[in-house]
Amino acid sequence: MSQELPTVLFFAGAFADPSCFDTFSKLLQTAGYPTAYAYVPSLNPSDPTAVSSSQDAQVTSENYLLPLLNQGKDVVIFAHSYGGIVGGAAAAGLSKASRAAAGMPGGVIGLIYCVGNIVGEGESLLQAVGGAYPPFIQENQPSKGLAVISPVIQTLYGEGAVSPETIPELEAAMTPHSLKAFETPQTAPAWAESAFDGRRAYIRTIDDQCNPLFIQDIWIEKTAVKWKTVDVKSGHCPFITQPEELAEIAVTLIKSWT
């Protein structure tokens, strides 16, 4: 019997339902990798003040990651943008090595950050970007405590990167996100653990207008741990604009860990 391939658990960026990964996810499924989505409470909550970054990590760990691990599955975290903060904390203490040492099944075998936001323990995203929101973050829109990105296409994809007929759908997918999630500190991240040495990858998006390349490099450097970096000439969302290329990268990385 062939060994089951690891499950890829997706953590979406802010302002996005995980269905944004649908095309990319199907490509990984075709390659034999089961996939699953993690959903965060801070995406368009009824009460934007009742959520936090650490709550996102706790909820996604308990509701989406641990159920997979307790079934004995190996998991790869694929985290985009804000999902890097949530996914990193959600996976803390849950490496394959740590769980095996405790006599528990399954475990996280690797971390793939696709232009993932990186914060240290006790740090917020707002602090990580310098303490001020960039101009494309429209605060208290469409109501107090929420935010959206505008302009959507230029910020997330880049001019000419998507076909004109898809623009209305991509703009309509912009979902309000709680500002408090960006302003509250996160718990200890998995990437800081030695169990992930040789099992951390960062996909840099070269033409990114949302998280420019220089800030991606600052985040990577400040971790003081080693990442395998792979470059994609794309804007902020290569799983939308270049899903086939991204799938090839992800499969190559996962194979190196299995």
Give per-residue pLDDT as tens, 75-129: 999 999 999 999 999 999 999 999 999 999 999 999 999 999 999 999 999 999 9
Alpha carbon of 254 to those of 22, 51, 161, 192, 198: distances in Å? 19, 33, 27, 19, 11
pTM of the model as a whole: 0.96
Give per-residue pLDDT as tens, 181-232: 999 999 999 999 999 999 999 999 999 999 999 999 999 999 999 999 999 9
| 232: CB partners within 8 A, 6+ apart | 203, 204, 205, 206, 238, 242, 245, 246, 249
Give the pLDDT score at 3: 73
The full set of domains in the chain, from first to last, is 7-257 (3.40.50.1820)
- Work out the average pLDDT over 8-22: 97
Residue 1: pLDDT over 60: no
Mean pLDDT in the chain?
Answer: 96
Please give the helix or strand (H or E) that residue 169 lies within, else none.
helix 167-172
Contact 126, 183 (CB under 8 A): yes
Contact 50, 56 (CB under 8 A): no
Residue 2: pLDDT over 60: no
Give per-residue pLDDT as tens, 159-174: 888 999 999 999 999 9
- Which of 6-10, 41-45, 158-162, 224-228 shows the lowest mean pLDDT across its residues? 158-162
